[in-house]
Amino acid sequence: MVKIGNIELGEFPVLLAPMEDITDTSFRRICKQFGVDLMFTEFISSEGLIRNAVKSTRKLVLLEEERPIGIQIFGHDINSMILAAELAEQARPDLIDINFGCPVRKVVSKGAGAAMLKDIPKMIEMTKAVVKSTSLPVTVKTRIGWDEKTCNIVDVAEQLQDTGIKALTIHGRTRSQLYTGKADWTLIGKVKNNQRMYIPVIGNGDIDSPQKALEMKQKYNIDGIMIGRAVIGNPWIFKQIKEFLKTGKQAQYPDITERTDICREHLILSVEQKGERTGVLEMRTHYSGYFKGLENFKQFKTALMQSISFVETEEILLKIKEYYNFQLKRG
């Protein structure tokens, strides 16, 4: 049984990675239906949180049906991170996660996210301070290094563990790689199989199928996996991975009716949460995933990407369902 503090996550948990403008409440609620074991908010700026910025504070809204759920925070100033952790705790999450892995320029340029991999002493000091500031379990998500010359994650993981964190998630790329190339799971495996490590080690990077999940589990002895980009418009991946790990059988991919119905449900939740315009616009990121592999889909995708109306988008989804079910009947 994998545990983070007192949170029991099963024998081999599958986690949803925090992703900006992706893992909002609406998508998390969809993923929960398909068996995700632990989710996180979109990452929240510590500076934005302590200044009561709307974009940051709205991410603190959690629903009971999402549990267990963690709030992920990032920042460059230790005192701000302490205050942010205290504010996050008031939202009653199950844990607090620190982001030391985000590679995007606007975060790194401020000394936050993956930039902390260039200043390990400060990373450790910040983590220790956050752990002391809250009664909740604290976890960390990071990368294997800043660049190929600084892949010292085995040593860094030990130091992070010594601060009192309850789990560590490692993305198998350096910051310099961004999201290019292949994730290096050998270093994740070295962290997990380091005899000094006793907290759960979660692997992240390039897991896009049940087969890949099983391979990483068997090859590197990790405690669980975190899914990122492969889940966009594809919440079924959690159910598929779990079924494959349990039975060795490939779950049948959902038919067009289920795909359009779940997409519509996601759309409704998105609009309820963010209003019609924003809710409709932010759904655009997911359509390629929901309707991956469909022939002659270009006309429908164009319509979906141009729509700014809930009613119009709903009508397009209905047409998609009718068209592909009709094609299926025709054989």
Residue 304: count of CB within 10 angstroms of its CB:
24
Of 278, 192, 152, 195, residue with least CA distance to 203: 192
- C-alpha neighbours within 13 Å on the C-beta side of residue 250: 6
Give kind and range of the element (H or E) at residue 40: strand 39-40
120 class by beta-carbon count within 10 Å (0-12 exposed, 13-18 middle, 19+ buried) = middle
Active site residue 31: no
Among the listed residues 31, 102, 151, 263, the single catalytic one is 102
Alpha-carbon distance 115 to 126, whole Å?
13
Alpha-carbon distance 241 to 281, whole Å?
29
CB 183 within 8 A of CB 172: yes
Cis before 18? omega within 30: no
CB 181 within 8 A of CB 189: no
Contact residues for 3 (Cβ-Cβ < 8 A; gap 6+) = 9, 200
Residues marked as catalytic: 102
